[in-house]
Structure 1
């Protein structure tokens, strides 16, 4: 087991990729704090499952758009679990697919507030703790939308491009403090959010998109979790400031 005795705060940990990462880290010895926004029952269920593995686990409600809530989530993790070694940040909002011309300004801004400002809000208190405690790992889930510039996804492209820039800046600033910061850029992944989007697009568009992926299928959340585990483990100790695309080759088609 590669993370024995480590403590990880996992945002968006009650579903999708975050849920898979929580289970994967726990299976490899990590104690887990799951930060959720609305899925309380699911978060508590995951906590129970992790405890059955013999790990410590807690669930924390926080809206990362609110800096004080994000800061409190970090402090609760430290107080209740005894520290914080790894941040796995996968909290993200659902994209509303519209052209820039047809987008609702308030919804657009709220998405960026959630996905970009929310990332800063959780990064800063985590990094301040790690700076005082001999370093740590930060792994943020991004999207190939940052590079593909898909039509009708200006909010995703803008927010995730900003996140990836922040990952690189943070890595450069904190490398000498042994804080390693990396991102995982995902494509179409088999999560609730993706399935909701596919329903909006319809069966014909869905099949076209999936067939266009070189590996011919969506990613499974567990495949993203494997990369997160690698970056969190000793195997990733000489990697920082990188964005790893785990997308079945989807980006090379775009």
Structure 2
């Protein structure tokens, strides 16, 4: 998916009221991905400065950063392996040193999974998925908390799955790690609320971007058609729709919302 070419200045550039703190930075883990890139754009349009990470696609990350700077945002772009806690700790320290505080963390990553029945999933494949997705998310959240506490609070957003509500066959490599991710979200909501730190998730259904591009490749045309027809709205979601929901929950417009999962699936799980 290519980045939208709209370069309309964000509120900070135009001097408008913003829905995020005017100081500090929003960190987007996986900001070079299909959904992550649009999330970054929405944040820039809200007046945020943005620190985005990528795992391997440096060229796409630089492209995203350039588009954000055209919107008036200051950016920082770094490669980051979430499974290395020391690397994550160093990264947050460098970001906080440059921008002053971390007011928002959005984790827009996931393991590169395939769809198959549990019967066919190997033990090593399961272990790798848990390490990349669950352990990586834990590191990202656990190690940002001291910075958010020091900054007077913050907002954490996770990408989850609508299949946590209605399980789909062959989706265990996606939903398995998401169970632990949502547990971390609820733990932060209950335990860190006294420090004005919120945590929420968006449970995504079938989308037209990101990791779903590869997931669709594992499905037969008949199965993909059935998924669309099984959705009350009769279509799959877009990266723009996902980003709008994610940024809304991350923003001050959701200041009294924490520990929640917003399901974005066109009604599939209803």
Normalising by structure 2, we get a TM-score of: 0.89
Q: For 1:81-160, what aligned pairs fall within 5 Å after superposition?
A: 81-160=99-178
Shift of 1:222: 1.1
175, 178, 181: which one pairs with 2:199? 181
Q: Is the 8 A contact 1:230 1:236 kept in 2?
A: yes
Give the alignment's Cα RMSD to 1 decimal.
1.4
Match of 1:163 in 2: 181
* Worse-matched range after superposition: 140-149 or 161-170: 140-149
Give the Cα separation in 1 of the matches to 2:210 and 2:188. Answer: 30
CA distance in 1, matches of 2:93, 2:192: 20
Please list, as runs of the form range in 1=range in 2, the aligned pairs for 1:1-150 lying within 5 A after superposition: 1-3=18-20, 4-150=22-168
The Cα of 1:232 is off from its aligned counterpart by 2.2
In 2, Cα distance between equivalents of 1:223 and 1:140: 15
Give a deviation string over 1:41-89, Cα, whole Å, max 9, x none: 0001111111111110011101111212222222222123232100011
Q: How many residue pairs end up in the alignment?
A: 252
Moved more, 71-80 or 43-52: 71-80
SS of corresponding position for 1:185: strand
User: Is the 1:146–1:156 Cα contact (8 Å) retained in structure 2?
Assistant: no
For the pair 1:230 / 2:252, whether they are aligned, the reply is no
Q: Which residue of 1 aligns with 2:234?
A: 216
Which stretches in structure 2 are left out of the alignment for 5+ residues? 1-17
Which ranges of 4 or more aligned residues in structure 1 deviate by more than 4 Å?
Answer: none
